Chain A
Amino acid sequence: MKPETLWAWAALVAGLIFLSPVLYTIWISFQTVDAYYSGGAHFTLENYAEAFGQYDFVRYLWNSILVSGVVTLGGLAMATMAAFAFARFTFPGGDFLFAAVVATLMIPSHITLIPNYLTLAKVGLLDTYAGLILPAISNGFAAFFLRQYIRGIPRALDEAAYMDGARPYQVLWRVIVPIARPAILSMGLYIFISEWNNYIWPLVAISDQDLYTLQIGLARLYKENPGEDVINWPLVMAASTITILPILFGFFLVERHLVRGITMGAVK
């Protein structure tokens, strides 16, 4: 065998070993409990039926999609607007405000936990979708990243549009957003993934089971399964797979997106 091929096989094997906990999880999620405890193999979809049905994971899945989706869209909208202003306008206080946005990158989120809980309790938003979404929606990193990106776009494009009588919001929407789309897209994926995996805030803000996200639902299912030795592991693994899978799909999408970006850059 050529050393190249050998390398490829070695890489594949190493990758599979590294990911074996995930692969094993998916495998067990399709096994019956009896098969699992007796060491056999018996394919079934029952664990998924049980997780989605009896244990309400359809609901948690929907909650996760809704919350992460709104946080992503809202976060991107706010970040893009602010990034545009910081990149293109000089205005009194602009530098200070930008510094305040960048400084949020250094602020550890745990300091806001108790106060945000109290704020939401005061306005009656605990145990609501809004309570999950609002504290998570501002994203200083996205604003900073997009501002850097927009600064790289030639100003002449803006000016041409202004000459044609465009208003600032039209310049943003028609000129900047289309050009900055790769950057906006990758920030969107970043926000979506972080919010999807967010655990501590929903844990604090939600006690109503109907509003559980997948992360809370999975943690509860695992912890509340009675008895250390009689845990229904195939069911828990099905729930884990449900929690991981959307991000796995997203991951392959990002990979392709990245590859496309690289090859496009090479062709230009």
Chain B
Amino acid sequence: MHSRFTPYLFVLPLIAFIAVFTYIPIVTSVNLSFREWDFLSDNKPWVGLDNYRLIMSSNEFWNSLRVTAIFALISVPLRLCLAMAIASYLVREALPQRLLRGALFLPSVTSTVAIAVVFSWLFATDYGIINAFLAMFGIPKVYWLQNPQLALWVIIIVNTWKQLGYDIVIYIAGLQAIPQELYDAAAVDGGRKRHVFRRVTFPLVMPTTYFLLVISVIEAFQVFTVVDVMTKGGPAGATDMLVNMLYRVGFTLFDIGMGSALAVMLFILLIGLAIFKSRVLGRKVHYEA
């Protein structure tokens, strides 16, 4: 029928590409993180933990870590709360709900670069429509992207606008999986709307919430594009995320050793989160009724 090599031939292309472009690079990154190299010189001297020490003692790194953490801490709960609230209104399979779902989902599949460009324009200091709108109420020009106090908030708004629809779609799937009998039982017991939400809906979509929580934190720690287009990490580092720092160190300063060390640190952090996710989801955070 078939030789025992057949299955290997079928998986070979995928495995080969994954090996060359995913697994070997991890080893390469770890190796380079212990070396000093500017991409051009012939030798790459071993420097031990120097790159890591350098990173740990740089203000730039602690700033990026802080900014990324603040970004994750604000944008993730914001997205999840909004998504859960909106999803519970859009869970029905009628035309208005489906239309609105489509509208909300659209930004999550469109180009992040285009969205970042469009919002740069909306938030532009001069001729930006948001400032024009505020001017109607006599509010003076706001320097959205030039003010270190505000720029991160703009990034959070843009990111939320883009990702919200995805969260909503996942929540709707989670909500639709809740058995109708539970709601019927709650109605028989005369449960108030708020009560039903707290006692039935909220605990039963917990697995979905955990799933979204962990993947959006992982995603938040990898934000790059919106920041690269809108602020380049500025003003004064106020929006400088970890991956933006990685890009700068690796590809504009060509400090390959330090860039690799930064990549390895971020990798360990995110893999830790991913393993936490599969552990928690593996145990299935379920609330059997």
**Interfacial residues, chain A to chain B (CB-CB below 8 A):** 4, 7-8, 10-12, 14-16, 18-19, 21-22, 24-25, 37, 77-79, 81-82, 84-86, 89, 91, 94, 97, 100-101, 104, 106-119, 134-135, 137-138, 140, 143, 162, 167-168, 172, 193, 196-197, 199-200, 203-204, 214-215, 218-219, 222-223, 228-229, 231, 233, 236-237, 240, 243-244, 247-248, 250-251, 255
Contacts and interface: CB of A to CB of B under 8 A. Distances in A.
A91 B26 contact: no
Interface residues of B, number: 78
Interface of B is mostly: helix
B18 to A, nearest CB: 5
Contacts of B39: 118
A82 B11 CA distance: 4
Contacts, number: 231
Given A18-B103, A106-B275, A168-B10, A11 B96 contact: yes
Given A85-B11, A116-B25, A110 B243 contact: yes
Interface stretch (B53-61, B179-187, B196-204, B244-252): B244-252
Given A18-B103, A233-B127, A106 B274 contact: yes
A15 B7 contact: no
A85 B10 CA distance: 6
A244 B20 CA distance: 32
Contacts of A18: 103-104, 161
A15 B100 contact: yes
B96 A255 contact: no
Contact of B263 (A10, A114, A236): A114
Interface stretch (B68-76, B106-114, B147-155, B205-213): B106-114
Interface in B1-40: 1-2, 4, 6-8, 10-11, 13-15, 17-18, 20-26, 28-29, 32, 39
20 contacts: A7-B94, A8-B95, A10-B96, A15-B100, A81-B14, A82-B13, A85-B6, A85-B11, A91-B4, A104-B18, A106-B274, A108-B271, A111-B29, A117-B250, A162-B1, A168-B10, A200-B224, A215-B111, A222-B117, A237-B118
A244 B127 contact: no
B159 interface: no
A98 to B, nearest CB: 8
Kindly name the residue among B21, B109, B114 whose own CB sees the greatest number of chain A CB atoms within 10 A.
B114
A112 B22 contact: yes
A209 to B, nearest CB: 16
Contacts of A84: 10
Contact of B267 (A100, A108, A247): A108
A174 to B, nearest CB: 15
B103 A19 contact: yes
B275 A200 contact: no
B156 to A, nearest CB: 16
B111 A244 contact: yes
A134 B17 CA distance: 8
B120 A115 contact: no
A32 to B, nearest CB: 15
A89 B107 CA distance: 40
A15 B24 CA distance: 46
A116 B21 contact: yes
Point out which of A107, A111, A168 has the most chain B C-beta atoms below 10 A from its C-beta: A111
Contacts of B259: 114
Nearest to B271: A106
A167 B99 CA distance: 46
B229 A219 contact: yes
Contacts of B109: 193, 197, 247, 250-251
B18 A218 contact: no
Nearest to A140: B18
Interface string B105-149: 011011111110111111011110100000000000000000000
Given A138-B21, A215-B113, A251 B106 contact: yes
Given A37-B127, A84-B10, 10 more contacts: A10-B96, A11-B97, A22-B118, A82-B10, A100-B18, A109-B222, A110-B263, A112-B25, A114-B32, A228-B124
